[in-house]
C-alpha cells in the first residue's frame, strides 16, 4: 500500500483573488461610465424636502436641459422633435409607464422645461419627475 502524505493541504486562493480583482475593475469602470452620462455643467436646483431616489427603474430616460435651453440625453444634443421621437419609441417598446427624469439647470427657462414636458405628453408618458439636489454645493449659488 502506498503511504498518503499528511502535508498541510491548503486552499488555492488564486481563483478567488482573480475574481475579487475583476469585481473591483468592473465597479470602477461602471462608476466612471455613470459619471460620463451626466453633463457636469448643469447645476441642479436645491430642494431639501424632496424625496430621495431609492431605487432607479432601468427603463428611466434622463433628459437634461442646460441654462441655454438645449436638450440632451447622455450628452447628445437633441431637437424637441428628435426627443419626441425617442420618447415615442420608448413607449412603443416599454409602455406608457416608462419613467422620465428631467435634470434642468436651475437657470434654465421654464419654457424649455415645458417643451420637454409637452414632448412627454405627446409620447403618452405620464411618469415624469424632476431631479434636484438635497444639499447645496459648496461655493456655488
What pLDDT shows up at residue 81? 94
Q: Return the sign of the alpha-carbon dihedral for residues 23, 27, 33, 34.
A: positive
CATH of the domain at 62: 3.30.420.270
What domain count does the chain have? 1
**Which pLDDT tens digit goes with each residue over 42-55?**
878 877 777 777 77
Q: Is 9 a member of any domain?
A: no
Q: Are 20 and 13 in contact (CB under 8 A)?
A: no
pLDDT of 79 > 70? The answer is yes
23: nearest Cα among 13, 15, 35: 15
Q: Is 94 a member of any domain?
A: yes
**What is the extent of the structural domain holding 128?**
40-141
DSSP secondary structure of 49-83: TSPP--S--TT-EEEEE-TT--EEETTEEE-HHHH
Q: Is 113 a member of any domain?
A: yes
Q: Is 129 a member of any domain?
A: yes
The three cell numbers of residue 6 are 499528511
pTM for this predicted structure: 0.67
Q: Is 90 a member of any domain?
A: yes
Q: How confident is the model at residue 56 (pLDDT cuts 50, 70, 90)?
A: confident
What pLDDT shows up at residue 61? 92
Q: Is 140 a member of any domain?
A: yes
What is the average pLDDT value for the chain, to the nearest integer?
A: 82
Q: Is 15 a member of any domain?
A: no
Q: Which residue has the higher pLDDT, 54 or 12?
A: 12
Q: Is 107 a member of any domain?
A: yes
85: nearest Cα among 110, 56, 61, 59: 61
Q: Which residue has the higher pLDDT, 136 or 138?
A: 136
**Which pLDDT tens digit goes with each residue over 87-137?**
999 999 999 999 999 999 999 999 999 999 999 999 999 999 988 887 765
Amino acid at each position: 500500500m502506498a503511504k498518503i502524505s499528511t502535508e498541510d493541504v491548503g486552499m488555492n486562493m488564486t481563483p478567488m483573488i482573480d475574481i475579487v480583482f475583476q469585481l473591483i475593475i468592473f465597479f470602477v469602470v461602471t462608476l466612471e461610465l455613470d459619471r460620463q452620462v451626466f453633463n457636469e455643467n448643469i447645476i441642479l436646483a436645491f430642494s431639501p424636502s424632496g424625496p430621495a431616489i431609492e431605487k432607479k427603474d432601468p427603463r428611466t430616460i434622463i433628459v437634461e436641459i442646460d441654462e441655454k435651453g438645449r436638450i440632451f440625453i447622455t450628452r447628445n444634443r437633441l431637437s424637441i422633435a428628435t426627443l419626441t421621437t425617442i420618447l415615442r419609441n420608448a413607449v412603443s417598446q416599454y409602455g406608457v409607464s416608462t419613467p422620465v427624469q428631467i435634470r434642468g439647470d436651475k437657470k434654465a427657462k421654464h419654457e424649455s422645461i415645458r417643451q420637454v414636458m409637452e414632448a412627454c405628453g405627446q409620447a403618452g408618458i405620464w411618469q415624469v419627475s424632476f431631479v434636484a439636489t438635497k444639499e447645496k454645493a459648496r461655493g456655488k449659488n
